[in-house]
Chain A
Amino acid sequence: QEQLAQSGAEVKKPGASVKVSCKASGYTFTNYYMHWVRRAPGQGLEWIGRINPNNGETDYAQKFLGRVTVTTDTSIDTGYMELIRLTSDDSAVYYCAGALYNGLDVWGQGTTVIVSS
Protein backbone atom coordinates (compact mmCIF):
# COMPACT_ATOMS: atom_id res chain seq x y z
CA GLN A 1 0.00 0.00 0.00
CA GLU A 2 1.34 3.39 -1.01
CA GLN A 3 2.08 5.62 1.97
CA LEU A 4 3.80 8.89 2.80
CA ALA A 5 5.05 9.47 6.36
CA GLN A 6 6.03 13.00 7.36
CA SER A 7 8.27 14.34 10.10
CA GLY A 8 6.93 15.78 13.33
CA ALA A 9 5.69 19.21 14.30
CA GLU A 10 8.08 22.15 14.37
CA VAL A 11 8.14 25.44 16.29
CA LYS A 12 10.33 28.12 14.79
CA LYS A 13 11.11 31.76 15.42
CA PRO A 14 10.56 34.41 12.76
CA GLY A 15 13.48 34.54 10.35
CA ALA A 16 14.40 30.92 10.90
CA SER A 17 14.16 28.01 8.44
CA VAL A 18 12.27 24.71 8.55
CA LYS A 19 12.85 21.46 6.70
CA VAL A 20 10.04 18.91 6.54
CA SER A 21 10.66 15.34 5.41
CA CYS A 22 8.34 12.86 3.71
CA LYS A 23 9.22 9.16 3.43
CA ALA A 24 7.54 7.12 0.73
CA SER A 25 6.75 3.43 0.91
CA GLY A 26 4.79 0.90 -1.12
CA TYR A 27 5.68 2.28 -4.55
CA THR A 28 8.67 3.08 -6.75
CA PHE A 29 9.67 6.51 -5.43
CA THR A 30 11.50 7.68 -8.54
CA ASN A 31 8.57 7.01 -10.88
CA TYR A 32 6.22 9.71 -9.61
CA TYR A 33 6.29 13.42 -8.82
CA MET A 34 6.14 14.55 -5.19
CA HIS A 35 4.20 17.74 -4.47
CA TRP A 36 4.07 20.00 -1.41
CA VAL A 37 0.89 21.76 -0.29
CA ARG A 38 0.07 23.76 2.82
CA ARG A 39 -3.01 24.89 4.68
CA ALA A 40 -2.77 27.87 7.01
CA PRO A 41 -5.35 28.38 9.79
CA GLY A 42 -8.59 29.70 8.34
CA GLN A 43 -7.23 29.43 4.81
CA GLY A 44 -7.52 26.96 1.95
CA LEU A 45 -5.05 24.59 0.35
CA GLU A 46 -2.07 26.27 -1.27
CA TRP A 47 0.29 24.57 -3.72
CA ILE A 48 3.97 25.16 -2.97
CA GLY A 49 5.91 23.14 -5.51
CA ARG A 50 6.85 19.74 -6.87
CA ILE A 51 9.85 17.61 -7.74
CA ASN A 52 10.55 14.81 -10.15
CA PRO A 53 12.56 12.38 -8.00
CA ASN A 54 13.93 10.72 -11.11
CA ASN A 55 15.94 13.74 -12.23
CA GLY A 56 15.53 16.34 -9.47
CA GLU A 57 13.70 18.84 -11.66
CA THR A 58 11.52 21.21 -9.66
CA ASP A 59 8.67 23.68 -10.20
CA TYR A 60 7.57 26.21 -7.60
CA ALA A 61 4.64 28.53 -7.10
CA GLN A 62 5.62 32.11 -7.89
CA LYS A 63 4.82 33.15 -4.33
CA PHE A 64 7.52 30.91 -2.87
CA LEU A 65 10.31 31.45 -5.39
CA GLY A 66 13.56 32.23 -3.60
CA ARG A 67 12.32 30.95 -0.24
CA VAL A 68 11.56 27.28 -0.84
CA THR A 69 13.69 24.35 -1.90
CA VAL A 70 12.29 20.90 -2.59
CA THR A 71 14.72 18.00 -2.77
CA THR A 72 14.80 14.22 -2.58
CA ASP A 73 17.16 11.53 -1.34
CA THR A 74 16.39 8.58 -3.57
CA SER A 75 18.62 6.26 -1.50
CA ILE A 76 16.03 6.41 1.28
CA ASP A 77 12.91 7.25 -0.75
CA THR A 78 12.46 10.55 1.06
CA GLY A 79 11.48 14.01 -0.06
CA TYR A 80 12.20 17.30 1.70
CA MET A 81 10.72 20.78 1.67
CA GLU A 82 12.79 23.60 3.15
CA LEU A 83 11.33 27.05 3.69
CA ILE A 84 13.55 29.93 4.78
CA ARG A 85 12.98 33.40 6.26
CA LEU A 86 9.87 32.26 8.08
CA THR A 87 7.17 34.68 9.18
CA SER A 88 3.97 34.14 11.14
CA ASP A 89 2.16 33.82 7.81
CA ASP A 90 4.04 30.56 7.24
CA SER A 91 2.36 28.92 10.23
CA ALA A 92 0.43 26.09 8.61
CA VAL A 93 0.07 22.36 8.17
CA TYR A 94 2.40 21.24 5.39
CA TYR A 95 1.57 18.16 3.31
CA CYS A 96 3.52 16.11 0.84
CA ALA A 97 1.47 14.39 -1.84
CA GLY A 98 2.32 11.85 -4.50
CA ALA A 99 0.97 12.10 -8.02
CA LEU A 100 0.95 8.37 -8.62
CA TYR A 101 -1.96 7.62 -10.92
CA ASN A 102 -4.40 10.47 -11.26
CA GLY A 103 -4.09 13.80 -9.48
CA LEU A 104 -2.62 13.98 -5.99
CA ASP A 105 -3.76 10.56 -4.89
CA VAL A 106 -1.48 9.77 -1.94
CA TRP A 107 -1.00 12.24 0.91
CA GLY A 108 1.18 12.43 3.98
CA GLN A 109 -0.43 12.97 7.35
CA GLY A 110 0.72 16.59 7.51
CA THR A 111 3.34 18.44 9.53
CA THR A 112 2.37 21.40 11.69
CA VAL A 113 4.78 24.31 11.54
CA ILE A 114 4.29 27.13 14.04
CA VAL A 115 6.23 30.35 13.63
CA SER A 116 6.20 32.41 16.79
CA SER A 117 8.54 34.62 18.73
Chain B
Amino acid sequence: SYELTQPPSVSVSPGQTASIDCSGDVLTKQYAYWYQQRPGQAPMLLIYKDTERPSGIPERFSGSSSGTTVTLTISGVLAEDEADYYCQSADPAMTYRIFGGGTKLTVL
Protein backbone atom coordinates (compact mmCIF):
# COMPACT_ATOMS: atom_id res chain seq x y z
CA SER B 1 0.00 0.00 0.00
CA TYR B 2 1.07 3.59 -0.56
CA GLU B 3 1.93 6.04 2.20
CA LEU B 4 2.39 9.78 2.47
CA THR B 5 4.79 11.20 5.06
CA GLN B 6 4.55 14.66 6.60
CA PRO B 7 6.41 16.27 9.52
CA PRO B 8 4.23 16.23 12.66
CA SER B 9 4.75 19.90 13.37
CA VAL B 10 6.07 23.14 11.91
CA SER B 11 6.45 26.44 13.75
CA VAL B 12 6.73 29.88 12.20
CA SER B 13 6.54 33.52 13.29
CA PRO B 14 3.82 35.79 11.89
CA GLY B 15 4.78 37.27 8.53
CA GLN B 16 7.34 34.55 7.82
CA THR B 17 7.09 31.71 5.31
CA ALA B 18 6.10 28.19 6.29
CA SER B 19 6.83 25.14 4.17
CA ILE B 20 5.31 21.72 4.71
CA ASP B 21 6.63 18.74 2.78
CA CYS B 22 4.78 15.58 1.90
CA SER B 23 6.65 12.63 0.47
CA GLY B 24 5.64 9.33 -1.06
CA ASP B 25 6.35 7.19 -4.09
CA VAL B 26 2.80 7.50 -5.34
CA LEU B 27 3.36 11.23 -5.91
CA THR B 28 5.26 10.44 -9.10
CA LYS B 29 2.08 8.83 -10.45
CA GLN B 30 -0.77 10.83 -8.91
CA TYR B 31 -1.50 14.44 -8.07
CA ALA B 32 -1.43 15.80 -4.55
CA TYR B 33 -4.08 17.80 -2.78
CA TRP B 34 -3.75 19.88 0.39
CA TYR B 35 -6.35 20.51 3.07
CA GLN B 36 -6.46 22.84 6.05
CA GLN B 37 -8.37 21.86 9.16
CA ARG B 38 -8.87 24.38 11.93
CA PRO B 39 -9.93 23.15 15.39
CA GLY B 40 -13.59 22.19 15.47
CA GLN B 41 -14.05 22.70 11.74
CA ALA B 42 -14.30 20.46 8.70
CA PRO B 43 -11.28 20.23 6.39
CA MET B 44 -11.05 22.70 3.53
CA LEU B 45 -9.37 22.19 0.15
CA LEU B 46 -6.39 24.52 -0.28
CA ILE B 47 -4.50 23.16 -3.28
CA TYR B 48 -5.44 20.67 -5.98
CA LYS B 49 -3.42 18.90 -8.67
CA ASP B 50 -0.14 19.78 -6.94
CA THR B 51 -0.15 23.51 -7.65
CA GLU B 52 -3.65 24.82 -8.38
CA ARG B 53 -5.60 27.00 -5.98
CA PRO B 54 -9.43 26.89 -5.79
CA SER B 55 -11.23 30.19 -6.05
CA GLY B 56 -11.41 31.96 -2.74
CA ILE B 57 -8.12 30.58 -1.38
CA PRO B 58 -5.65 33.41 -0.67
CA GLU B 59 -2.61 33.72 -2.93
CA ARG B 60 -0.28 33.24 0.05
CA PHE B 61 -1.03 29.52 -0.20
CA SER B 62 0.91 27.76 -2.96
CA GLY B 63 1.92 24.25 -3.90
CA SER B 64 4.88 22.77 -5.71
CA SER B 65 6.08 19.34 -6.73
CA SER B 66 9.41 17.66 -7.31
CA GLY B 67 9.73 13.94 -7.77
CA THR B 68 8.37 12.08 -4.76
CA THR B 69 7.84 15.25 -2.71
CA VAL B 70 5.19 17.93 -2.81
CA THR B 71 5.34 21.11 -0.76
CA LEU B 72 2.74 23.46 0.62
CA THR B 73 4.12 26.97 1.11
CA ILE B 74 2.37 29.65 3.13
CA SER B 75 3.84 33.10 2.58
CA GLY B 76 3.29 35.91 5.07
CA VAL B 77 1.80 33.59 7.69
CA LEU B 78 -1.10 34.98 9.69
CA ALA B 79 -2.26 33.90 13.13
CA GLU B 80 -5.41 32.48 11.53
CA ASP B 81 -3.26 30.01 9.55
CA GLU B 82 -2.61 28.03 12.73
CA ALA B 83 -4.22 24.70 11.88
CA ASP B 84 -3.57 21.13 10.84
CA TYR B 85 -2.55 20.57 7.22
CA TYR B 86 -2.94 17.33 5.30
CA CYS B 87 -1.67 16.17 1.96
CA GLN B 88 -3.75 13.64 0.05
CA SER B 89 -3.31 11.54 -3.04
CA ALA B 90 -4.67 8.36 -4.59
CA ASP B 91 -3.45 4.93 -5.58
CA PRO B 92 -2.43 4.61 -9.26
CA ALA B 93 -5.76 2.95 -10.11
CA MET B 94 -7.65 5.79 -8.42
CA THR B 95 -9.70 3.35 -6.35
CA TYR B 96 -8.72 4.64 -2.91
CA ARG B 97 -7.46 7.83 -1.35
CA ILE B 98 -4.47 8.32 0.91
CA PHE B 99 -3.91 11.02 3.52
CA GLY B 100 -0.62 12.04 5.02
CA GLY B 101 -0.40 11.98 8.80
CA GLY B 102 -0.96 15.71 9.07
CA THR B 103 1.21 18.64 10.13
CA LYS B 104 0.28 20.98 12.94
CA LEU B 105 1.29 24.53 12.05
CA THR B 106 1.97 26.70 15.07
CA VAL B 107 2.18 30.46 14.62
CA LEU B 108 4.50 31.72 17.34
Q: Which residues of A contact B (CB under 8 A)?
A: 35, 37, 39, 44-47, 49-50, 59-62, 95, 97, 101-105, 107-110
- Known A-B contacts A44-B100, A59-B95, A59-B96; the reply to A107 vs B44 at CB < 8 A is yes
Which of B18-26, B35-43, B65-73, B75-83 is found at the contact surface with chain A? Answer: B35-43
* Interface residues of chain A: helix, strand, loop or mixed (majority): strand
Contact B33 A45 (CB under 8 A): no
Q: Count residues of B near A (Cβ-Cβ below 8 Å).
A: 23
Contact B97 A107 (CB under 8 A): no
4 more A-B contacts (CB under 8 A) besides A45-B102, A59-B96, A102-B54? A39-B37, A44-B101, A103-B33, A103-B45
B35, B48, B54: the one within 8 Å of A45 (CB): B35
Q: Which residues of B contact A (CB under 8 A)?
A: 1, 33, 35, 37, 42-45, 48-49, 52, 54, 84, 86, 88, 95-102
CB distance from B49 to the nearest CB of A (A): 6
* Interface residues of chain B: helix, strand, loop or mixed (majority): strand
- 17 of the cross-chain contacts (CB-CB < 8 Å) are A44-B101, A44-B102, A45-B102, A46-B99, A47-B88, A47-B97, A59-B96, A61-B96, A62-B96, A101-B54, A102-B49, A102-B52, A103-B48, A104-B35, A104-B43, A104-B88, A108-B42
CB distance from A97 to the nearest CB of B (A): 8
Q: Which 10 A-B pairs have the closest CB atoms?
A: A44-B102, A102-B48, A103-B33, A107-B42, A47-B97, A103-B48, A45-B99, A59-B95, A105-B45, A44-B101
